[in-house]
Structure 1
Amino acid sequence: MCYFVNALDLIWLWIFPNSTILFICCYLLTLGPLASAIITWRNSLVFHSLDKVTSLFIHIYPPIVLSVVLFHYPNAVERYPGLAHIDDYNWVFKIALAAMPYCLWQGSYFKFISVDRKEKIESGQRANSFQYLLNDKRGPIGRALRNIRPEHRELWFIFGQFIYSIIFMLLPATLLIHSQTATNIYLIIIFSSSIWNGATFYVEVFGRKFERELERLRKEMDALTASNPSSTGNPTSSNPGTPYLDSPLATGSINGGDDLAYSPLVLPNSSVSEVPSISLGEASEAVLEPADKPKTE
């Protein structure tokens, strides 16, 4: 429907600016079901996504254009004479007028999409709004459609979509078309909704991406630990760089009379079991004695 309403707006702007009836149809459809679709379909302002920005543009730009033409365009009646007779019709007649092009679009859509391309839709090669909402298991529309008999689901969906469009045309027909302030507030709310949806998208998507990265890192660490368990344990005698742990003193294997078995003061295989005593004087004489002897060649 969004492309149909955009085309209808362009036809009024550039081809039939004198038509009051066409403007009423455009205004109610544009600020009604087209603008409200931003909330219903959760259009979001996501700058790095061309699809999301394009979808938001075709839903928010036409309401802004028609509102500017109606309330802010200088000498708008001279450029668009159809604006002069808006108040000649009551709100019921305005909704009835807007319902006619809507029914034209709905009938064409059903014929060319739902009927002529039925096989492609059922095979999954193409998708329409009915199949999308029907497959939405968490949405209220999808749950309601699944409670209806399969052969009647699409007709009930078309009828529900028509009622939805009529309900959202009430506000433009009764208030927005007459009030600049109400229109500005309405557009701010609609656009703020798209900003909120975009912020939620960034938080959810990038949050899940960060969570997956953390999970991947955790698995890599677990795999590394499993392949090399000694790297995370306490140092042992098999670890290089810890020779002091190989000493019997560290392992506690020396007991009793073997206390000097590993002393550097005892020669290997020596039968001496204790360190010989030596006085300080004897030690000094032993050190100075070679220096007192004459040097021989």
Structure 2
Amino acid sequence: MEFLSVKITFFFWMHLTLLIVMAAGFCQWLLLYIYAIFLPILIILRAWFYFKLKWQLFLVDLCYCINLVLYIYIWVGPSVPEFLYVIFGISHGPVLTAAITFRNSLVFHSMDRMTSCFIHLMPPLLTFGIRWYPDRITHWIAPFISNQDLNLTEQSFWIFALPLAILVFHTAVYLSFLVIVRPSEEYVGFYSYLTEGSSGIWPTIFKKFARKWRPFLYILLILTIGGTSVLLNFLWYNYFYANLTVLCLVFSRLIWNASTFYVDVFRKKGMDSEPYSVLWCSTWCDEQPDTRSANKVK
């Protein structure tokens, strides 16, 4: 049963990835239907698994919030271009950068890793299509309006200042929640993953500092990476080939991360490196899941 699920997962994600690549290049309107159909399914599935693994704190990250906002936008606000500008700024800024910073990888047999890729790549792909091909995204409930003639002042506000303010607000609310609620250490989230993780460059850096300084280091990291990525939106929004190039480079990086995973991780740990597989097996075999060996990748 376990290996059958892995085969089905590989088959599904390989075909869906090919479909997304084809849609991004030749029929951008299809991206809307792919996103509208599969995002709720993947989020519900991930929420179920993450609650089982006590990883639900990951579900309040900015990446999930912007996917929720984008989903509302395509159904409710296609005719509101300001909505698009802000979503473009965040999805091409912190969300796209997170795919690189936290080593997303196109590991087709892994539902966990491929869901992360979907969450981080579909918002920039979809806003790329709406930004540059609004006339091709016509097979929808309402036409998308994209005013391409924003002046520098308007761009500074909509695709830089406002996305950065949202990033700061989310970071403040997230840390305040951790301070006020103080969830048990058995619950893993983005902050605990970065500061207390067992492997990876970021946990290694954070552990060099005393616990009391780690929230400040976390804020510095998020705002430095997020602020820099948002600043680059001026390039992505104004130049088609720059926007296309950065998406291709990120996609290539995710392929490289996948090759590294198969050579360095999967070769040693096998199916224990896939948390969904561990939980799936335990669910059907009446065993308790041992997630300690699962290599969590955001």
- For the residue of structure 2 that corresponds to 1:127, the secondary structure is coil
Q: 1:222-255 deviations in whole A, cap 9, x for unaligned?
A: xxxxxxxxxxxxxxxxxxxxxxxxxxxxxxxxxx
Q: 1:105-136 deviations in whole A, cap 9, x for unaligned?
A: 22332233x1344241xxx3211222212234
Match of 1:181 among 230, 241, 248: 241
Give yes or no for contact 2:91–2:123 (8 Å, CA) kept in 1.
yes
Give yes or no for contact 1:19–1:81 (8 Å, CA) kept in 2.
yes
Match of 2:92 among 31, 38, 44: 31
Q: Percent identity?
A: 27
Alignment gaps of 5+ in structure 2: 1-61, 271-298
Match of 2:156 among 89, 92, 96: 92
The 5 Å alignment of 1:155-234 reads 155-172=216-233, 174-208=234-268
Query: What is residue 80 of structure 1 aligned with on the other side?
Result: 144
Residue 115 (structure 2) pairs with residue 54 (structure 1): yes
Alignment gaps of 5+ in structure 1: 211-297
Query: What is residue 182 of structure 2 aligned with on the other side?
Result: 118
Query: What is residue 266 of structure 1 aligned with on the other side?
Result: none
Query: What is residue 212 of structure 2 aligned with on the other side?
Result: 151
TM-score normalised over the length of structure 1: 0.61
- For the residue of structure 1 that corresponds to 2:176, the secondary structure is helix
1:149 and 1:205 mapped to 2: Cα distance? Answer: 30
Give yes or no for contact 1:12–1:22 (8 Å, CA) kept in 2.
yes
2:254 and 2:126 mapped to 1: Cα distance? Answer: 18
Aligned letter for 1:105? H
Q: 1:182-224 deviations in whole A, cap 9, x for unaligned?
A: 11111111111111111221122343269xxxxxxxxxxxxxx
CA distance 1:55–1:19, change in 2 (3 Å): same
CA distance 1:209–1:157, change in 2 (3 Å): closer
Q: 1:48-106 deviations in whole A, cap 9, x for unaligned?
A: 11111111111111111110111123166982235355346355333111122223322
How far residue 180 of structure 1 moved from its aligned partner, in angstroms, is 1.4
Give yes or no for contact 1:23–1:83 (8 Å, CA) kept in 2.
no
Deviates further, 16-25 or 6-15: 16-25
2:79 and 2:100 mapped to 1: Cα distance? Answer: 32
Aligned letter for 1:42? R
Give yes or no for contact 2:100–2:250 (8 Å, CA) kept in 1.
yes
Number of residues paired by the alignment? 205
Query: What is residue 272 of structure 1 aligned with on the other side?
Result: none
Stretches of 4+ moved more than 4 A in 1?
A: 75-78, 136-140
- For the residue of structure 1 that corresponds to 2:100, the secondary structure is helix
- For the residue of structure 1 that corresponds to 2:134, the secondary structure is coil
How far residue 147 of structure 1 moved from its aligned partner, in angstroms, is 4.1
Residue 83 (structure 2) pairs with residue 22 (structure 1): yes
- For the residue of structure 1 that corresponds to 2:130, the secondary structure is helix
TM-score normalised over the length of structure 2: 0.61
Give yes or no for contact 2:66–2:87 (8 Å, CA) kept in 1.
yes
CA distance 1:55–1:193, change in 2 (3 Å): same
Residue 195 (structure 2) pairs with residue 134 (structure 1): yes
CA distance 1:185–1:106, change in 2 (3 Å): same
Question: Which structure has the larger Rg?
Answer: 1
Match of 1:108 among 164, 173, 180: 173
Kindly report the root-mean-square deviation, in angstroms, between the aligned alpha carbons of the 2 structures: 2.6
Query: What is residue 106 of structure 2 aligned with on the other side?
Result: 45
Q: Which structure has more RCO (C-alpha within 8 Å, separation ≥ 6)?
A: 2
1:181 and 1:140 mapped to 2: Cα distance? Answer: 32
How far residue 138 of structure 1 moved from its aligned partner, in angstroms, is 6.1
Q: 1:154-203 deviations in whole A, cap 9, x for unaligned?
A: 1331232122101011212x211011111111111111111111122112
CA distance 1:207–1:146, change in 2 (3 Å): closer
